[in-house]
Amino acid sequence: MTDPKDLEQALPPLTLAWTDEALETLRKVPFSVRKSAARGIEAYAMTRGENEVTQAVINEAREARAKAQNEGAAGSSPHGGEHAPGQGGAFPNPERDKEESPRQFVTFSFYKVDRAWRRLPKEERDRHKAELAEVYKRWASGGKVICRSYSTVGIRADAELMLWRISYELDAIQDMTAEMLKTGLGAYLEATDNLLGMTKMSSYADKLNPDHEAARLRIVPGRAKYIFVYPFVKTREWYLLRPHARQGIMDEHIFVGTKYSRVKLNTTYSFGLDDQDFVVAFESNYPQDFLDLVQELRETESSRFTVRDTPTYTCIARPIDDALSLLG
């Protein structure tokens, strides 16, 4: 049984980075409404283009909400009618998503450039990079594919560029990839790994944050500097355990995760679609938090049922032009 004192400190999954002062303010919000409060504040911050939630952002969000309530209509919200925080539009709404939204396809594609490309004249390499960047930006702004670009130069020996893509249409991701490969740089790119999954409601109840699982149907990438990605495979013995036994083991696993509020987990499901059971991607501005989280999870009962959780990719978020520039 969860200790009530633990609930006083538990934080919901967060999309953006939060300062320590902002986290302390969030902890003072009653647990029953803490999740919705965090979601509304982050939605406000994202509409302002903020990468981090500070106390000032919280204060501004409160003032904006109070103004909207005083004016008595959602349409008077500074965010504009149905797109106001927590009401719908571009922002996640777990209840709406659970009933209406189809599942998303999610891919993490890793590339390495052929050494021969770096021996080409600089002018030709620059032209190749600009050509691929144009294709990427056109798809990223086209509405069918959510794209995030990352660099692994100097971090992994087997990959130098990672593209995180999310779409309701798998063929859109395929078409984008095919168009990239037709560019000058694409001719020199080797796909060293590709992890495919889909969003899905979890079969385990998150007792600390009950609406967290519904939010998994729709992934909204944050703006954290780092993302840590790896495939995950459990033993067949795990799936043969009775449901209540698995839930009990996962309760401990989930509780450990709530202790690391500056790390956001994105879980996608790969059963039958790819070689792994899941793809897990952790967003954070604090690599030390992710390291400590993984080490602590190794000590939980659920760790006994892990077959594989490698390779682990540490990726640094970069605009596509910067990520390509780092290639040479």
- CA proximity to 227, closest of 173, 307, 165: 165
pLDDT tops 60 at residue 96: no
Residue 83 sits in the same domain as residue 118: no
Higher pLDDT, 139 or 208: 139
pLDDT tops 70 at residue 294: yes
Residue 113 sits in the same domain as residue 55: no
Mean pLDDT value of segment 32-60: 86
Mean pLDDT value of segment 72-84: 39
Q: pLDDT value at position 94?
A: 45
Mean pLDDT value of segment 66-88: 49
Q: pLDDT value at position 72?
A: 59
Supply the range of the domain harboring residue 16. Answer: 1-91
Residue 68 sits in the same domain as residue 26: yes
pLDDT tops 60 at residue 5: no
Instruction: Give the count of domains, the chain.
Output: 2
pTM, 2 dp = 0.75
Distance between CA atoms of residues 85 and 205, nearest Å: 25
Residue 34 lies in a domain: yes
Most confident of 37-51, 156-170, 209-223: 156-170
| pLDDT category of residue 9 using cuts at 50, 70 and 90 | low
Residue 275 lies in a domain: no
Mean pLDDT value of segment 234-244: 95
Tell me which of 193, 221, 251 is where a domain ends.
Answer: 193
C-alpha distances in Å from residue 34, one per residue of 19, 30, 170, 189, 328:
16, 6, 35, 45, 46
Q: pLDDT value at position 133?
A: 98
Residue 77 sits in the same domain as residue 118: no
pLDDT tops 60 at residue 226: yes
> Residue 156 CB: number of other CB atoms within 10 A?
19
pLDDT tops 50 at residue 90: no
Distance between CA atoms of residues 181 and 307, nearest Å: 34
Distance between CA atoms of residues 108 and 197, nearest Å: 9
